[in-house]
Chains A and B, each alone.
Chain A
Amino acid sequence: MSRGPLPYSSKILELFRNPKNLGKMKDATASAVAGSPACGDVIVFYLRISEDEMIEKATFESYGCAANIATASITTELVKGKKLIDAWEISWKEVADEVGGLPTTKLHCGILSVGAVKRAIRGYYKKKREKPSWLPDELTSEEKHALEEEELARVLSKKIGGK
């Protein structure tokens, strides 16, 4: 299953061709970036959060492969209408299931999407200088994954340079 061409599901193809909730949001309450151009995948999430901490609207932009676009798109669908406490609980496995399964080499796309959402939520509370009891102090594995990927890209780019 690790060999190309990667057998994408029909759902991924559909979301790649017609992504939902695409574009920059001008009145976003919170936003977050995950990934790095050097890794070949960058996602930006925009969330509009109501006063009672409900995600009213979620949009995304993506520079990445078809799986990256599809997982980002489906994640916006999954968090829309959810309270932040519930959106925080969405796992990359749910994202992968929602797009009809991901090839093994593309599982990191689901992790990156969830990492970006968690970053946006954490950023939202940081800006408000509040910290609900359910928000862990430690970074979650998804947030760490996004961080590790960005760190790796920085190290490799530095090592190889560029003329």
Chain B
Amino acid sequence: MFVMAFQKVQQLKRIILDNLLVNLVMFRSLETLIEAHKDVGREVYLDLENSSPIPSDIVEAMIPYFSEKAYGNPTITHKLGWMAYEEIQKASESVADYIGANSIEEINFTPSETESNNLALIGTALANRKKGNKIVVSEIEPLSIKFSTKMLEKRGFEVEKIPVDRNGFVNLEKLTKAIDQKTTLVSVMLVNHEIGTVEPIKDAVEIAKKKNPDVLFHSDASDAYGRIPVNVDELGVDLLTLSSYKILGPRGVGVLYVKEGVDVERLLEGQIGTQKLWPGVENVPLIVGFQKASELAFRDFEGSVSRMKKLRNRLKSGILERISGAVLNGPSGEKRAPDNVNISIPHCEGESLTIELSLKGVYVSSGSACTRAILQPSHVLTAIGKKFEAAHGSVLMKVTRYHTNKDIEYVLDAFPKAVKRLRMISPIKDGAD
């Protein structure tokens, strides 16, 4: 008995030691990877899809709310609670105003786009399951919607995915056919997060409601808000998702707009404060940051959009001119978000390219399977008919109003050098797209 216990302790010690060693090696690796960038001439962050730097005026707007003011719980009856409540009301009013919502009751702060989309899909499907069990979504929705529909399928819901064309536009004919009397919810994003396609949401809503007036329509507008006009009344949507970091606000806060009268079930239970669909103590500093980010995005909306378009066009055409065989993924012109560039580079694997560019101070992401923990290429690129090779060799970049011409010129100088070196290593010389 004693020997067995001793052996178990020894075994446990070994496991702990092994894990410590693994972690030590990992941290040393990370140090080396970061250290390798010490000589970069300039840093240009274009990976706005995955996270964003927060401009200093937004950081400054948030700081007092961590420890100086309004740090109380907005549901409690004292000064600090009332101050917190006041800030949430102000932020709700401001967001409601920007998206044309009728009342602040329709604005629900959540921890992010992911939670908003889960709430919109699962919460709405569950709340309306007596009316029907069919959900219709596009094939190129973000993972938070794609995986929410998988969860719904496991719970007995029928999910139909609507294909898109070569530029990512949802097939409205197939959408019409898919909607029937048991369909309770349709979800199509306003702007695709990877290829920037501006979907015809107004038309899609009209078609959907004509076929079944009871159907609810959700749209993830995270990549639209602050870049193209978003008005819930004009679009006719019942639910709409917004993300804070996608407009340079802090991570950790998002919004789900829910039109008055629409039933949505909470996904989590706990203390309900000011946000009836999301329990827990409200994160006032982040909500203030989101409000400030919105204010800055809309302060000179047309000027900012025009600036983004100029930078985006220079970046896009600069790469297409300099890299042989490079192909733009997604549409061109007014039906593309002003900040989005997604290009496939033949004979260049995306993960290697993100690392090579990173070593030159240019930060981007890729649709390559190798950059993802799930080891699958981008479902958006394969849905628009791109071959796996084109998805593996794709690079996603987004510009902001804070980027400069010098930033773009720096990227255009670094990019061909990175591609040239990787193509020199590659055995594949033609036919990647």
Contacts and interface: CB of A to CB of B under 8 A. Distances in A.
A101 interface: yes
Interface stretch (A32-40, A47-55, A122-130, A135-143): A32-40
B369 A40 contact: yes
A10 B392 contact: no
A162 B385 contact: yes
B372 A4 contact: yes
B388 A64 contact: no
Contacts of B388: 37-40, 153, 156-157, 160
A37 B369 CA distance: 12
Interface string B366-396: 0011111101010000101111111010000
Contacts of B348: 63
A135 B368 CA distance: 36
Contacts of A38: 387-389, 392
Interface residues of B, number: 41
Given A38-B392, A40-B392, A65-B349, 4 more contacts: A9-B29, A69-B425, A105-B375, A162-B385
12 contacts: A7-B29, A8-B33, A9-B25, A9-B32, A13-B32, A17-B36, A33-B427, A37-B432, A62-B427, A64-B370, A65-B368, A105-B373
Contacts of A133: none
A65 B428 CA distance: 14
A161 interface: yes
A63 B427 contact: yes
Q: Tell which of B377, B384, B426 has the most Cβ of chain A within 10 Å.
A: B426
Contacts of B22: 1
A44 B427 CA distance: 7
B25 A101 contact: yes
Interface stretch (B96-104, B312-320, B351-359): B351-359
A117 B15 CA distance: 34
B425 A62 contact: yes
A21 to B, nearest CB: 11
Contact of B352 (A9, A69, A100, A163): A69
Nearest to B423: A63
A132 to B, nearest CB: 28
A6 to B, nearest CB: 8
Contact of B389 (A13, A16, A37): A37
A26 interface: no
A22 B422 CA distance: 11
A150 interface: no
Given A63-B347, A162-B385, A37 B392 contact: yes
A43 to B, nearest CB: 8
A3 B373 contact: yes
Nearest to B375: A105
A11 to B, nearest CB: 9
B276 interface: no
B166 interface: yes
Contacts of B385: 161-163
Nearest to B22: A1
Given A3-B373, A160-B382, A65 B33 contact: no
B267 interface: no
Given A38-B389, A66-B355, A7 B33 contact: yes
Contact of A63 (B166, B375, B426): B426
A61 B351 contact: no
B32 A10 contact: yes
Contacts of B28: 10
A19 interface: yes
Contacts of A163: 166, 384-386
A62 B387 CA distance: 19
A46 B392 CA distance: 25
By Cβ-Cβ distance, the 8 closest A-B pairs, closest first, are A163-B385, A61-B427, A40-B392, A162-B387, A10-B32, A38-B388, A65-B370, A65-B351
A23 B424 CA distance: 8
Q: Tell which of A37, A64, A101, A105 has the most Cβ of chain B within 10 Å.
A: A37
Given A7-B30, A44-B427, A105-B375, A64 B389 contact: no
A19 B375 CA distance: 24
A42 interface: yes
Contacts of A43: 427
Contacts of A9: 25, 29, 32
A19 B352 CA distance: 13
Contacts of B427: 24, 33, 42-44, 61-63
